[in-house]
Amino acid sequence: MCVCSCIVKIVEIQNPPSVEVLVDRFGRQRFPYVLDSSQSNDGLGEWSFFGAEPFQIVTGGLADLRQAMQPHQIEAHPEIPFTGGAVGYLSYDYGRRLETLASLAEDDRRIPDMHFGLYDGVAALNHETGVLFLVGHDFNRTANAVIERLRAIVGAGLDTPTATGNRKQATTAATSRATMTSNSPARRSKWKWNLSRADFCTAVQRVREYIASGDVYQVNLS
């Protein structure tokens, strides 16, 4: 992989707004995204990422996405797992570009089969430490300009007493408005299966037969 000498700038925010507030503020921007890690037990769910205002939109195909990303390759950060780049989706219907499939439904929504934004900055929240990292690259503008844009989105309310990036405190307000049956995290020892192994294997075989006959091309079996 070709790694460019892009400039990266990182600013730490020690007392950021809550997750709810961050979702609301980024959600008011153009083409926002939230990659939320809601799992808080078993050492998972350490990071969540917030972004908006991509400098480029790619809706063609994967070849177009690779071409758009090529000039902006960066080295991985040793601590922050995602510092910016491409965020978007591939629809189920994109599969028709990869193989020949029957098209029975009318395309009445005209939604792109693929839609990715290229983001030169991200707000990365560490739920363990409560620190919000603002990361900016000079992909399309200066890294300082990217940081200032992120700071403007996040900035309002940084000094309020209720603003925090800690996972436990950030969910307190939401929890108080919801009826919770238990505050204990899920534990694997309490899981129960509703199918035996033999029944599950039988169901899988039935799904394979449906696919082979052309009745379906995907089944979510659980």
The architecture of the domain spanning 8-176 is: 4-Layer Sandwich (3.60)
pLDDT string in tens for the chain (222-residue length): 334 546 789 999 999 999 999 999 999 999 999 999 876 666 678 999 999 999 999 999 999 999 999 999 888 999 999 999 999 999 988 998 898 887 777 888 889 999 999 999 999 999 999 999 999 999 999 999 999 999 999 985 454 333 333 444 434 333 333 333 344 444 556 677 788 899 999 999 999 999 999 888 888 887
CA angle (186 as vertex; 181, 188 as ends), nearest 5:
140
CA angle (101 as vertex; 98, 106 as ends), nearest 5:
110
Distance CA 191, CA 153 (A): 41
Short-list 140, 151, 149, CA closest to 56: 140
Q: Would you list the domain boundaries of the chain?
A: 8-176, 193-222
Backbone φ and ψ of 49, nearest 5°: -130, 140
